[in-house]
Each structure stands twice: as C-alpha cells, then as structure tokens.
Amino acid sequence: MATESKRQQRFAGVIQQDLAELFQREGTAWAPGAFVTVTKVRVTPDLAIARVYLSFLNTNTAKDDLASIKKKTNDIRYKLGARIKHQARIVPQLEFFLDDTNEYVEHMDKLFEEISKETRQPD
C-alpha cells in the first residue's frame, strides 16, 4: 500500500474534523444511544472516496448502528458538503467501516492476563 500524500492527509483531516462535529451534534439521530467517534479517515489519491472508520461507545449494537449510519450516507455527505464547500471542489463519496481497535485491545489484554496468571513450569 502506498503512503498517503500530504494533500490526502490534510483533506482527510478536514473531513475527520467536520464529520466528528456532525456526529457530535446529530449522531444520536443516526445511532440512538451510542457515542460515535470518527477514529480515522483515509482518502483515495483522487480525493473522490473517503473511507471513514467509526468507533461506537455505550452500545452493544455497533454493527446495527453502523448499518443505520450507512443508510444515512447521502444525508451525511450532503451535510458534510455544506461544511467543506469552500475547502474542496468535490465532496467525496463516503464509505463507513467499523473500527474495532478497542475490542481488539481488550481481547489482547485479557489474553496477557491469562498468560501472566498461569503458573510457570520450570524448564
């Protein structure tokens, strides 16, 4: 995978910041009861597609919430476009993905705890 250019990184940062503010204000309508965090945004070299990674807190139905957000993609894209219209020529297509990094970290912590609790056998 090629590294992102400075232009891609800057544009991804703008999108991440604006989407984070959108989810903070209107996220409860798209994912009721969940606290949505935009953890990462990756943009294609032509800036036409933005892959948005979301993390959900205070919910057990993250996959259902993600599906609900995916259904509202056009609405979210429209609202994003209103925010970045002076900073970008085009508003990228949005693709949402579940960022399960926190779950992975918790799983690894549990594994390390189990390993450390096991009695060590002499060689």
What is the predicted pLDDT for the residue at 43? 94
pLDDT of residue 121 exceeding 80, the answer is no
Q: Helix/strand/coil (H, E, C) string of the chain?
A: CCCCCHHHHHHHHHHHHHHHHHHHHHHHHHCCCCEEEEEEEEECCCCCEEEEEEEEECCCCHHHHHHHHHHCHHHHHHHHHHHHCCCCCCCCEEEEEECCHHHHHHHHHHHHHHHHHCCCCCC
Q: pLDDT tens for residues 60-98?
A: 888 888 888 999 999 999 999 999 888 888 899 999 999
100 belongs to a structural domain: yes
Closest CA to 75 of 91, 57, 97, 59: 91
31 belongs to a structural domain: yes
Query: By residue range, what is the domain housing residue 28?
Result: 6-117
1 belongs to a structural domain: no
pLDDT of residue 1 exceeding 60, the answer is no
Helix axes 6-30, 62-71, angle to 10 degrees: 100
Q: What is the identity of the amino acid at 11?
A: F
Q: What pTM was computed for the model?
A: 0.79
Other CB atoms within 10 Å distance of the CB of residue 71 = 10
What is the predicted pLDDT for the residue at 99? 84
Q: pLDDT tens for residues 2-60?
A: 688 898 999 999 999 999 999 888 877 887 878 888 999 999 999 999 999 998 887 78
| Domains held by the chain: number | 1
Q: What is the CATH number of the domain that holds 100?
A: 3.30.300.20
pLDDT of residue 102 exceeding 80, the answer is no
48 belongs to a structural domain: yes
What is the predicted pLDDT for the residue at 109? 82
123 belongs to a structural domain: no
